[in-house]
Homo-oligomer: A and B are copies of this chain.
Amino acid sequence: MQHEKWSKTEKAVAKRAFEAALHNEYEALAGKIKEMASHVKEPQDIWSIHDFLTEKRKEIGRKYDYRYSRLILVFALLIKEGWMEEADLRGLREDKVEKIKSLASGLAYNPDDD
């Protein structure tokens, strides 16, 4: 993918959108952990929380990659997964928004998800 140029304004929009998505994902994760913890009955339930967090930690670390060369793809994924909304992209150049939306809709039909 051709590297995009990001204006100062766009960088501010991107940063805010990125942080908001991360916040949303953490909020959901906190809710999920509270729910899993409240249902712990067997030792295995405890290790399921551990396994789940091990995966989430890797996934979040990989996914939230704030390099401008990666951001179009990162945002597409965050939109596809529901952590970011198209409205969060307001302030980016239209061609970037279109690329993000187009990639997100491609990702949405990824056969690996089936």
A interface vs B, CB < 8 Å? 26, 29-30, 33-34, 36-38, 40-41, 43, 45-47, 49-50, 53-54, 57
Contact = CB atoms under 8 A, between A and B. Distances in A.
B50 A26 contact: no
Contacts of A45: 30
Contact of A33 (B29, B41, B46, B57): B46
A40 B34 CA distance: 8
B26 A33 contact: no
Contacts of A57: 47, 50
B33 A49 contact: yes
Interface centre among A29, A37, A45 (most CB of B within 10 A): A37
